[in-house]
Amino acid sequence: MEAPGDDGKAPARGPELIAQASSDAALVARCRAGDDDAWRELVERFSRYVYAIAVQGFRLGQQDAEDVFQDVFARVYERLGSLRDDEAVRPWIAQLTRRVCIDRLRSGARESDADIEELHELPAEDVLTALEDAFDVHDALAELPENCRQILDRFFARDESYRTIGDTLGLPAGTIASRISRCLDKLRDAFEGEGRNVPPAPSGGQVT
Amino acid sequence: MSNYDHEQLSRLIGMLPPAPQAWVQAAQELPAARRGLDGLVARVEADAAFRAEVLADLESALQAEGVEPQPRVVEELRRLLADD
């Protein structure tokens, strides 16, 4: 049996990546029309982003992060009709997530008598900016052939070993490193082809 | 010349790991859960006997509507019935 390469002929449908099958505006329009499949797609598209803002941006523990995650999507579902610019769903969800995280931190601080002023130390704006760049990279990743998407996502985002990746995708483990390198080249070309050619600059700003 | 190197790209890929699948699934099922809750509340408002039945066992009432009785959903139903 021929081993699949990184040419888009992957044999297995693996874990969902950030999907960009529809434009954000089209996706929002379908959700607003009551299309449950579109809602599932929207949750899939933004789930990593919301999760990362809560856990990496605001350093919430798993229980708080889960509450924030569900609360954010409940609010998105309820308020999608009030979104003025459907293309702006991503910054809208980001802002909503930040607010819910801050509410959660304030609520926790009140319960523990912690100094609420300390909350202004969180989160570091450079982390949130980097998450924006990460979302863009995942969008570019979604444009790559299936095997590249799978290999890069499994290795870097899911922290799977060469052996696990090889077993799952039917590839010799000894070829995974070179495939990763080739796929990163493709990703860089795709990413920079979208006009992104300046690496993110660190910023020390704070969210107020 | 490229400005993004492999290290930067791999770091950015790694910044967005998947959210726990159960969380994603619960959020994806939100429309169906809301419809189930709305249906239950409408029937509760119209039928006192049914209201008593639902209040006695919220989880079973949700299951009968085809809604997974996750704690969050049960709590929402409890809140809706209290507001009712």
In a domain? residue B1: no
Which residues span the domain enclosing B55?
Answer: 19-83
Residues A107, A74 share a domain: yes
Residue B4 contacts A, CB cutoff 8 Å: yes
Predicted pLDDT of residue B27: 96
Q: How many structural domains comprise chain B?
A: 1
> Tell me, what CATH number does A171's domain have?
1.10.10.10
Residues A23, A98 share a domain: yes
Q: How many structural domains comprise chain A?
A: 2
Predicted pLDDT of residue A9: 39
> Token digits for A102?
């801050």
**What mean pLDDT, rounded, does chain B reach?**
89
CA dihedral of A19, A23, A26, A31, whole degrees rounded to 10: 30
In a domain? residue A3: no
Q: Do B23 and A66 touch (CB under 8 A)?
A: yes
Which chain B residues in 17-36 lie under 8 Å from chain A, judged by CB atoms?
Answer: 17-20, 23-24, 26-28, 30-32, 34
In a domain? residue A93: yes
Which residues span the domain enclosing A36?
Answer: 17-119
In a domain? residue A60: yes
Burial of B80 (0-12, 13-18, 19+ CB in 10 A): middle
Nearest to B17 among A74, A141, A158 (CB): A158
Rounded to whole angstroms, what are the CA distances from A76 to A20, A46, A82? 18, 11, 10
Nearest to A48 among B6, B9, B16 (CB): B16
Residues A133, A59 share a domain: no
Predicted pLDDT of residue A124: 72
Please tell me the distance in Å from A118's CA to the nearest CA on chain B.
25
In a domain? residue A7: no
Q: Could you read off the pLDDT of B7-38 as tens digits, one per residue? A: 999 999 999 999 999 999 999 999 999 998 98
CA A184/CA B10 separation, integer angstroms: 8
The arithmetic mean of pLDDT across residues B44-63, rounded, is 91
Measuring CA to CA, which residue among B64, B31, B51 is closest to residue A36? B31
Cα Rg for chain A, rounded, in angstroms? 19
Q: Do A52 and B10 touch (CB under 8 A)?
A: no
Q: Do A199 and B28 touch (CB under 8 A)?
A: no
Residues A154, A114 share a domain: no
Q: Which residue has the higher pLDDT, A207 or B56?
A: B56
Residue B46 contacts A, CB cutoff 8 Å: no
Q: List per-block mean pLDDT (blocks of 10 residues) for chain A, which spans 208 residues.
A: 40 48 85 95 97 95 95 95 91 95 85 60 78 94 94 97 94 93 95 66 36
Q: Which residue has the higher pLDDT, B84 or A86?
A: A86
ipTM: 0.81
Is the distance from CB of A182 to CB of A6 less than 8 angstroms? yes
Nearest to B9 among A135, A153, A187 (CB): A187
Is the distance from CB of B4 to CB of A200 less than 8 angstroms? no
Predicted pLDDT of residue A22: 61
In a domain? residue A6: no
Predicted pLDDT of residue B1: 39
Residue B7 contacts A, CB cutoff 8 Å: no
